Amino acid sequence: DADVTQTPRNRITKTGKRIMLECSQTKGHDRMYWYRQDPGLGLRLIYYSFDVKDINKGEISDGYSVSRQAQAKFSLSLESAIPNQTALYFCATRPTGWNEQFFGPGTRLTVL
Amino acid sequence: TQLLEQSPQFLSIQEGENLTVYCNSSSVFSSLQWYRQEPGEGPVLLVTVVTGGEVKKLKRLTFQFGDARKDSSLHITAAQPGDTGLYLCAGAGNAGGTSYGKLTFGQGTILTVHP
């Protein structure tokens, strides 16, 4: 079984709709991250969380919100989706004291 | 804000050729990582370099961290079609800095190795 799972894997939605992307992990890591990936731009950090009570904005948090429901769950929401939020979204986890991040398989989101 | 410039963005070569991917920054990183990503999957860590001047080898892949910990390179010897993929460098922020606990990613290099 995968250590970091993301649901859904693919989603097509319309402008203005609310969307939630979910991430779950069985690795027992405290730290979780949400990134978006666009061609030619690498991975850009949206939000990150060092534990359930610690949520931080990344470099591109506008238009997004997150919820850390438990150590193992970290959700990303788009309150009112817009076309330029069309991208590949990745969740990642990291153990405290290590720099390596472990990524989920990604969610491909298309906003029409 | 820390930035990592990765080059080239695209690389298309024949099997057996050598190649080098570069990652450069004006910022100092506590460590630098290289990830490889295949279509439909998330990035997977290849290596972490920590010490300035460090060189690590992983089979035909050689990774180097610059003396000042601001740049890194990935060299592949005798590339094979199985090396095809997206290669990403990522710098880890220093303890006590605003980037601590976060990774700054380069733009990525799409490598295609033709048989």
Q: What is the pLDDT of residue B97?
A: 63
Q: Which two tokens stand for residue B110?
A: 């799409």
Q: Is the pLDDT of residue B96 over 90?
A: no
Cis peptide before A8 (omega within 30 of 0): yes
B5-45 pLDDT per residue, tens: 999 999 999 999 999 999 999 889 889 999 999 988 999 99
A46-96 pLDDT per residue, tens: 999 999 999 999 999 999 999 999 999 999 999 999 999 999 999 999 988
Q: Which two tokens stand for residue B98?
A: 């605003």
Cα nearest neighbour of A41 on chain B: B107
A10-47 pLDDT per residue, tens: 999 999 999 999 999 999 999 999 999 998 888 999 99
Residue B82 contacts A where some CB pair is shorter than 8 Å: no
Cα nearest neighbour of A89 on chain B: B42
Min Cα separation A71/chain B (Å): 17
| Residues contacting residue B111 through CB under 8 Å, at least 6 positions apart | B11, B13, B19, B21, B76, B79, B83, B84, B85, B86, B87
B 1-60 residues with CB < 8 A to A? 1, 4, 6, 9, 30-31, 33, 40-45, 48
**d(Cα A49, Cα A66) in Å, to the nearest integer?**
9
A 10 A CB-CB count for B68 gives: 11
B14's enclosing H/E stretch is: strand B10-14
